[in-house]
């Protein structure tokens, strides 16, 4: 079912929007990766997932899994639930497991939809998962109004490697440094 939905959304976005993609070659073809983007719309995971040539497992708010249909749909497209009200150990373990299995995981840097790329609103989840899952982070900047027939700009940056931090203590300060680097790169990609 996943290949069908991926093809469907690829066609959908190319018919109803003008999709402009840069840097798609920066997505590793295999191995653990974190695709870390800003978040403008519910369309974001669908447009990213349909344009990339590998399956991305997106972390999504648990409210999207509350009905039988939406649960089936989001699980089919590779999403898994996270409780954003606190520390969700189940989502944490799932993410690390996927990364250790060499999968690509999609995370929104700010954790929820936001119109701006304010660095101060970014969460440290991507940084933590990068260190715990031994994964490079591919920053992504999306710019669009998502109005019918408008342009959707998707800029994939070069993978960011934070191996140097693995030898340091995983603490708030180091996670904050990594998060600032990620968000700054996403911001620059949003403006390209």
- Give the integer Cα–Cα distance in Å for 120 and 100: 29
Task: For residue range 89-109, list pLDDT tens digits in order.
Answer: 999 999 999 999 999 999 998
Task: For residue range 25-77, list pLDDT tens digits in order.
Answer: 999 999 999 999 999 998 999 999 999 999 999 988 899 999 999 999 999 88
Global pTM reads 0.89
Average pLDDT over residues 72-86: 87
CA-CA distances (angstroms) from residue 135 to 49, 95, 160?
18, 11, 9
Task: For residue range 131-187, list pLDDT tens digits in order.
Answer: 999 999 999 999 999 999 999 999 999 999 998 887 788 888 999 999 999 999 999
Residue 119 clears pLDDT 60, i.e. is over it: no
For position 171, what pLDDT does the model report?
Answer: 87
Start-end of H helices in the chain: 2-16, 43-51, 68-76, 89-100, 125-132, 163-166, 172-191
- 6: confidence class by pLDDT, cuts 50, 70, 90: very high
For position 170, what pLDDT does the model report?
Answer: 85
* Helix (H/G/I), strand (E/B), else coil: 155: strand
């Amino acid at each position: 079912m996943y290949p069908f939905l991926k093809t469907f959304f690829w066609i959908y976005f190319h018919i109803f929007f003008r999709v402009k993609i840069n840097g798609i070659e920066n997505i590793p073809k295999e191995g653990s990766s974190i695709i870390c983007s800003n978040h403008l719309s519910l369309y974001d995971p669908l447009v990213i997932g349909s344009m990339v040539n590998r399956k991305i497992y997106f972390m999504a708010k648990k409210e999207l899994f509350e009905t039988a249909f939406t649960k089936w749909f989001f699980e089919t497209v590779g999403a898994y639930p996270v409780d954003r009200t606190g520390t969700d150990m189940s989502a944490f373990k799932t993410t690390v497991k996927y990364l250790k299995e060499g999968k690509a995981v999609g995370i929104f840097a700010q954790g929820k939809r936001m119109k701006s790329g304010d660095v101060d609103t970014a969460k440290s989840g991507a940084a933590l998962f990068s260190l715990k899952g031994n994964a490079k982070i591919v920053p992504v900047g999306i710019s669009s109004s998502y109005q019918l027939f408008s342009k959707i700009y998707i800029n994939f940056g070069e993978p960011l490697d934070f191996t140097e931090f693995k030898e340091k203590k995983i603490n708030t300060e180091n996670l904050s440094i990594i998060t600032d680097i990620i968000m700054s790169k996403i911001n620059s990609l949003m403006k390209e």
